[in-house]
Each structure stands twice: as structure tokens, then as C-alpha cells.
Amino acid sequence: MQIATEAALGMVFCDCCVYNCISGNSMGKRWKLDLDTNNHSVFALHYHLILVVKYRRSVITDAISARLREIFERIGPDYYITVAEWNHDRDHVHILFRAQPHSNLSKFINAYKSASSRLIKREFPEIRQRLWKEFFWSRSYCLITTGGAPLEVLKQYIESQGER
């Protein structure tokens, strides 16, 4: 078994994908890192993506959100992207996803927005009453790396979206 140690981070990596990290607190708390691997690297790349409907129109229902997630999960593997958590409000979606170092995030997001916009407007024609042009999504998006907050905190935040 090959083991590489990164003393500055307190991490031990081994090729059998069992990873532990010792935190810097005096209690020596341990937790398991959920890392991905490819041929030459070990990584944990999680992103929080927020996509907003054009003009912030309130058009996302549970059925539309479920279909948007299906489209995301269909396109994602082409870019080495998988969904970890998904939730929505009436005018936006929150997506927590995993990626790989070679994932082209901007191309993926643009491909997803284009395909989902076309498919949603075709499959849910009632949306055209609220969004009369060809666009479903706003041109902008918010993409945040999740290194600053524990993933459980982000998952709880995303799960609580839409609960008003």
C-alpha cells in the first residue's frame, strides 16, 4: 500500500481510498473525508450552484424541479459531474454537486441551461405565459466552492430552501 502524508494539512492518503483527517483542535477530533480519485489525483470538489429563472418569475413547481434535476443528472456524467443535493424555490434552484479537476464547469453550466430551457419550455407549455421569450434561466449564475463550510451545513441549508 502506497501512502503519502501531507503534514501541513494533517492528512494521510492511501491508494485504497480510506482517508482520515485530524482537525487542529485540542480534542483531536477525527472525521472521514469523502474523496474521489482518478489516475493521478485525489480530490474533493464540491460546488454550490444557484440558477435563477429569467425575471425571477415564480414558475418552478415540484414537477418542473424534478424534471430539471433529471436533465442535470443526464448531462452531468458527460462532464464528470454528479448531484449531491438538490432543492428549489419558486424562482430558483440550489444544486450541490461534485466534479473532477478536469470538469469544464462553465461549459457544463451553459450546456445545462440551454438544454433544460429548451426541454422545460417544450414539456411545460404553461411556462410560456410567464416567460414569453426563448429563455428560461437568467444569463447569470452563482457558483460557490464549498470549502468554507462543512457539507452538512450546506446540505441543511439547501434542504431548507422553499420552506416558508
Contact between residue 53 and residue 61 where contact means Cβ atoms under 8 Å apart:
no
Grid look-up 438538490 returns 86
54 in the same domain as 10: no
- Amino acid code (one letter) for 126: E
17 in the same domain as 83: no
Contact between residue 137 and residue 57 where contact means Cβ atoms under 8 Å apart:
no
Residue 110 neighbours by CB under 8 Å, 6+ apart: none
Q: What is the pLDDT of residue 6?
A: 37
Task: Classify residue 78: in a domain, yes or no.
Answer: yes
132 in the same domain as 111: yes
Per the structure, the complete domain to which residue 94 belongs is given by 43-159
Grid look-up 480534542 returns 27
Mean pLDDT of 78-83: 97
Task: Classify residue 97: in a domain, yes or no.
Answer: yes
**Residue 39 DSSP symbol:** S
Residue 25 neighbours by CB under 8 Å, 6+ apart: none
Q: Calculate the CA 79 to chain-centre distance.
A: 12
Task: Classify residue 109: in a domain, yes or no.
Answer: yes
Q: What is the pLDDT of residue 109?
A: 98
Q: What is the pLDDT of residue 117?
A: 96
pTM: 0.74
Give the sign of the dihedral formed by CA 114, CA 120, CA 126, CA 127. negative
115 in the same domain as 88: yes
Q: How many domains does the chain have?
A: 2
Q: What is the pLDDT of residues 133-152, one digit of tens each?
A: 888 999 999 999 987 678 88
Residue 76 backbone phi and psi in degrees, to 5: -50, -50
**Percent of the chain at pLDDT exceeding 70:** 77
Q: What is the pLDDT of residue 32?
A: 58
Question: Which of the two residues, 7 and 115, has the higher pLDDT score?
Answer: 115
Q: Name the average pLDDT for the chain.
A: 81
Pick the range with the lowest mean pLDDT from 16-20, 121-125, 136-140, 142-146.
16-20
20 in the same domain as 49: no
Task: Classify residue 99: in a domain, yes or no.
Answer: yes
Task: Classify residue 148: in a domain, yes or no.
Answer: yes
Residue 1 neighbours by CB under 8 Å, 6+ apart: 14, 15, 16
Q: What is the pLDDT of residues 26-65, one digit of tens each?
A: 334 444 567 888 888 898 899 999 999 999 999 999 999 9
Residue 121 backbone phi and psi in degrees, to 5: -70, -30
End-to-end CA gap in the chain: 51
121 in the same domain as 53: yes
